[in-house]
Amino acid sequence: MSAPDIQAPTAEMMELLEELSAFSAPGDGVTRLLYTPEWRMAQQHLLNRAGESGLKAYSDSVGNVYGRLAGTRPDGKVVLIGSHIDTVVSGGKYDGAYGVAAAFTALGYLNRMYGQPLRTLEAVSFAEEEGSRFPLTFWGSGNVTGLYDGSEAEDCKDSEGVTLLEGMKSCGLGDKEPSAPRSDISAYVELHIEQGIVLERTGMQIGVVSAIVGQRRFAVTVKGTANHAGTTPMGLRRDALAAAAEMMLQMERLAAEAGDPLVATTGRLVVTPNTPNVIPGEVAFTLDVRHSREDELEAFCASVVSAFEEIAERRNVALGMALRLSASPAPMDSGLRAELEAICHQQGRTYRAMVSGAGHDAQLFAPRCKTAMIFVPSQGGISHSPEEYTPPEELAAGLEVLIALLYKLGYEETDEDGLVPQNTKERWT
Amino acid sequence: MSAPDIQAPTAEMMELLEELSAFSAPGDGVTRLLYTPEWRMAQQHLLNRAGESGLKAYSDSVGNVYGRLAGTRPDGKVVLIGSHIDTVVSGGKYDGAYGVAAAFTALGYLNRMYGQPLRTLEAVSFAEEEGSRFPLTFWGSGNVTGLYDGSEAEDCKDSEGVTLLEGMKSCGLGDKEPSAPRSDISAYVELHIEQGIVLERTGMQIGVVSAIVGQRRFAVTVKGTANHAGTTPMGLRRDALAAAAEMMLQMERLAAEAGDPLVATTGRLVVTPNTPNVIPGEVAFTLDVRHSREDELEAFCASVVSAFEEIAERRNVALGMALRLSASPAPMDSGLRAELEAICHQQGRTYRAMVSGAGHDAQLFAPRCKTAMIFVPSQGGISHSPEEYTPPEELAAGLEVLIALLYKLGYEETDEDGLVPQNTKERWT
């Protein structure tokens, strides 16, 4: 069987994407939080659509929805393709939902066009990734990969005091035993909007993700002395905000020196007492650092801590830095990356290897199976906003690349583990 | 009549100060806001004490309380001595109240010791200076000097929606015609705690104020682009907080170059959206600048505006700067300053000429009559706090200096305008 001449079912995917966006709480953009009525309706809609496409539709104990296209091979291995169905509050139509709509549409298309594959393909719509309702993230993929075991559901509460378990029960879940982590997944593929401006700025259609960045998040506090803004000479001040300003600028300089793909951000900053005529006595701010390599991440954080300490000592303010989050980089599978680049080449698409600065469900699969991520551009880099947008032709390009990869993974005769061997690039050029 | 051998009535003043501090709303420190029951009781207490001291006690249409010691001269001119009775929320015992207690105590003492003066002396407890309850300041001295004419009372509301006029009526005021601005005041003298750390740091007992600083306050907004902290490379950011940080640091550098007494402060800063994983799209901050000279104040503000514009342009962020407050410096009378320095010398007190970085009632009198201010130290420079403190012996020093000045102004034979001529320093050395 040779590489197919794909006519991407763009209209079908766009229709599904539009349908999903209608399952939203009132307000700007799309708001579809875990275990809400709109979330339940969206997942039910996908179950229906999967069934109509000839896929085996089912859901697991936490409400992840699957559409299974069973293969003829008896090894029981599965190629899983998907993303998450939940959104942030007043989010866009594309974050997560695009990858879900593309996965279900792609399997329906492959089933129609090529029938039963050699290897089992499953589309998935993960219950949750954003952490928008409950104080946890990756609840969907985390239950599949073993990050969670379901026991978290009793104690974890949303801002209204509703437990995760109560949320599950409101959607007809939570009564059966938690599903065990899946051990049958040999590969995971996720298509997603970039949520950044790299593809747009560089004029590329496709991003082949090389790694999802590792991350450190610090809570920083600087304590000086609050004092009268009029009566305290500049030389006698212990201004916590001036010290924080110097720290932020120094961090920015160090990040520029480190170069891409390192990013370092102070997104949140709170001043106390925050009154025009009082010198700030205390400033609390966050520091979010990301890099695709663990050693670079560590080295940068060490240089920031050292610079902050020097500034605090010189300015006679007290410095506190608490590590609040630490995640290792998740490299994508080099074989699948090579396949994706070959497909882009074959389809005549512009593409680039790139790091994902955002977290994705794929990072939970990367340590466990061959994992790939495909990005399409985000207009203006805007995401987590009603203004999130990618034109249909750019969404279609991602879908075509995905289908080509799934055709290879599902229908081509290759090695025994159900996946294309790494050195097959010549077949595509 | 020669300079008296003053035995400052410290105990009497401390007793009055303690009594005043008991007129407070519940909570930490002293809270005595304009036209509240505790405010009314404090002013009534001063009326009673003034009467007991043989002063003519009266109040005006806005509730300023006076204790008048009438002179024998028929010119009708008055030397006014005092400060304000209101406080900030959870303020200290000393800010304002010290100057009030000292003024009423001093006149009672002078009356007891020396009888009727040549020139009329009046102690005053101004109704309001802090702006803690209603969105205006200097309501007391402003009605005496013509800054206000009483018409503001109908529209001005506190945070509960109560108008100034309703507040006045709750204290038995507001029914009669507003008092006209006073034209009989030939001099104003105010004794106050420093509210800063200059006297403490330099080991001085008395500050002879040379000027109350002029002030400019700007509301600054910096607009960049809010974006994902993980997916936006450093080189593609328009980070409003990084730009604001550079502005604040540059302002600090320019202030250091300008030198004392210039002070420049960012006391309030608010980040939008203020989320750890989003690059700040907008930052609003205040800029408070003070100097005793108008030309220096103007030059500094111009240099800051220019520096901010350069930073905004280079960083491709939008800058808005709105002038919210502009007050000219108020120089104190050089003749009265010389008198005060001579008195300090005579009493063997350490003293220094200094600028007041804080605003005071005296600044409203300075353009209208000979005006003087005397400072005593504030422990740790702390003010507007329950921890505000000055030891009794340091309060006593201020009282003694005040009494010596009032003796000169009230009892000595001098020129026809009722004030000591400027070149009389030799009589004190």
**What is the 3-state secondary structure of chain A?**
CCCCCCCCCHHHHHHHHHHHHCCCCCCCCECCCCCCHHHHHHHHHHHHHHHHCCCEEEECCCCCEEEEECCCCCCCCEEEEEEECCCCCCECCCCCHHHHHHHHHHHHHHHHHHCCCCCEEEEEEECCCCCCCCCCCCHHHHHHHCCCCCHHHCCCECCCCCEHHHHHHHCCCCCCCCCCCCCCEEEEEEEEECCCCHHHHHCCCEEEEEEECEEEEEEEEEECCCEECCCCCHHHCCCHHHHHHHHHHHHHHHHHHHCCCCEEECCCEEEECCCCCEECCEEEEEEEEEECCHHHHHHHHHHHHHHHHHHHHHHCCEEEEEEEEEECCEECCHHHHHHHHHHHHHHCCCEEEEEECCCCCHHHHCCCCEEEEEEECCHHHCCCCCCCCCCHHHHHHHHHHHHHHHHHHHHCCCCCCCCCCCCCHHHHC
Asked if residue B359 lies in contact with residue B83, where contact means CB atoms within 8 angstroms, the answer is: no
One-letter amino acid of B360: H
pLDDT band at B179 (very low <50, low <70, confident <90, very high): confident
Q: Which residues make up the CATH 3.30.70.360 domain(s) of chain B?
A: 214-327
Of B255, B266, B290, the CB nearest to A241: B266
B:59-118 residues touching chain A, CB 8 A cutoff: none
Q: pLDDT value at position B177? A: 86
Supply the mean pLDDT for chain B: 93
Rounded mean pLDDT, B219-247: 95
Inspect the interface and report whether the beta carbons of A358 and B230 lie closer than 8 Å. yes
Q: Which helix (H) or strand (E) holds A216?
A: strand A214-223
> What is the pLDDT at residue A419?
53
Preferred mutation among B137, B265, B287 to probe A, highest tally of A CBs within 10 A: B265
CATH class of the structural domain A10-212+330-428:
alpha beta
| Shortest Cα distance, chain A CAs vs residue B36, angstroms | 24
Check whether B218 has a pLDDT greater than 50.
yes
pLDDT digits (tens, 9 = 90+) for A48-84: 999 999 999 999 999 999 999 999 998 989 999 999 9
Interface contact A359, partner B, CB < 8 A: yes
pLDDT value for A135: 87
Q: How far is A349 from chain B (nearest CA, A)?
A: 22
Which residues, other chains included, contact A113 with Cβ-Cβ below 8 Å and sequence gap of 6+?
Answer: A4
B256 contact residues in A (CB cutoff 8 A): 234
* Residue among B228, B234, B280 whose CB faces A358 most closely: B228
pLDDT band, very low/low/confident/very high, at B384 (cuts 50, 70, 90): confident
Residue pointed to by tokens 């909007």: A193
Chain B's closest residue to A232, CA to CA, is B196
pLDDT tens figures, B169-178: 999 998 888 8
Query: Across residues A139-159, what is the average pLDDT?
Result: 93
Residues A342-369: pLDDT tens digits?
999 999 999 999 999 999 999 999 999 9
A425 has pLDDT over 50: no
At A276, list the tokens.
């025009």
Inter-chain CB pairs, A–B, below 8 Å: 204
pLDDT at A343: 97
Task: Say what angle helices B10-21 and B97-114 make with each other, to 10 degrees.
Answer: 140
Contact across the interface for A267 and B256, Cβ inside 8 Å = no
The percentage of chain A sitting over the pLDDT mark of 90, rounded to a whole number, equals 85
Task: Give the list of residues 6+ apart from residue A396 with CB closer than 8 angstroms, or none.
Answer: A8, A10, A13
Could you report the per-residue pLDDT of B26-42, keeping only the tens digit for each?
999 999 999 999 999 99
pLDDT at B428 over 50: no
What pLDDT shows up at residue A134?
92
For residue B355, the distance in angstroms to the closest alpha carbon of chain A comes to: 9
Query: How far apart are the CA of B368 and the nearest CA of chain A, in angstroms?
Result: 24
Residue numbers in A near B242 (CB within 8 A): 248-249, 252, 266
Please check the confidence at residue B268 and state whether its pLDDT lies above 50. yes
* Interface contact B358-A249, CB threshold 8 A: no
Q: Give ranges for CATH 3.40.630.10 in chain A.
A: 10-212+330-428
Give the closest residue to B194 by CA, choosing from B346, B402, B347, B388: B388
The pLDDT of residue B423 is 40
Average of per-residue pLDDT across B126-130? 96
At residue B277 the predicted structure's pLDDT band, cuts being 50, 70 and 90, is: confident
CATH number listed for the domain at residues A214-327: 3.30.70.360
Pick the most confident of A378-392, B5-19, B243-257: B243-257
List, as ranges, residues 248-287 from A with C-beta within 8 Å of B.
248-249, 252, 255-256, 260-271, 274-280, 286
Which residue of A265, A291, A387 is the best one to mutate when testing the B interface, meaning the one whose CB has the most B CBs within 10 A?
A265
Q: Is A373 on the interface with B (CB under 8 A)?
A: no
Rounded CA gap, B101 and A354, in Å?
A: 73
Q: Measured between alpha carbons, how far is A50 from A155 in angstroms, rounded to an integer?
A: 33
Cβ–Cβ contact B307 with A under 8 A = no
Q: pLDDT band at B20, cuts 50/70/90? A: very high
Residue A1's pLDDT band, with cuts at 50, 70 and 90, is very low
Binary contact (A267, B279; C-beta < 8 A) = yes
What is the model's pLDDT at position B419? 53
**B227 and A382: CB-CB below 8 Å?**
yes
- Residue A415 pLDDT: 60
pLDDT in tens, B412-422: 987 655 454 44
| C-beta separation of B218 from B322 below 8 A | yes
A241 interfacial to chain B (CB closer than 8 Å): yes
Asked if the C-beta of A296 comes within 8 angstroms of chain B's C-beta atoms, the answer is no
In tens, the pLDDT along B298-327 reads 999 999 999 999 999 999 999 999 998 899
Asked if B252's CB is within 8 angstroms of A228's CB, the reply is no
| Band of pLDDT at residue B426, cut at 50, 70 and 90 | very low
pLDDT at A166 over 80: yes
Structure ipTM = 0.83
Query: Predicted confidence band at A150 (pLDDT cuts at 50, 70, 90)?
Result: confident
Greater confidence, B135 or B222?
A: B222
B276/A245 CB distance under 8 A? no
Model pLDDT for residues A247-264, shown as the tens digit of each residue: 999 999 999 999 999 999
Q: Does A215 touch chain B (CB under 8 A)?
A: yes
Overall average pLDDT of the B106-117 stretch = 97
Which of A195, A230, A233 lies nearest to residue B358, judging by beta carbons? A230
In the prediction, which pLDDT does A119 show? 96
Residues of chain B with C-beta less than 8 angstroms from the C-beta of A359: 230
Is residue A213 within 8 angstroms of chain B, CB to CB?
Answer: yes
Task: Say whether A252 and B242 touch across the interface (CB within 8 A).
Answer: yes
Average predicted confidence (pLDDT) for chain A: 93
Reported as a single tens digit per residue, the pLDDT across B228-239 is 899 999 999 999
Whether the predicted pLDDT of B3 surpasses 70:
no
pLDDT band with cut points at 50, 70 and 90 for residue A3 = low
Kindly state the average pLDDT of the residues B122-145. 94
- Nearest-CB residue to A227 (from B227, B241, B381): B381
Interchain CB distance below 8 Å, B196 and A234: no
- Closest residue of A to B243, CA-based? A249
Please determine, for residue B391, whether its predicted confidence score (pLDDT) is greater than 70: yes
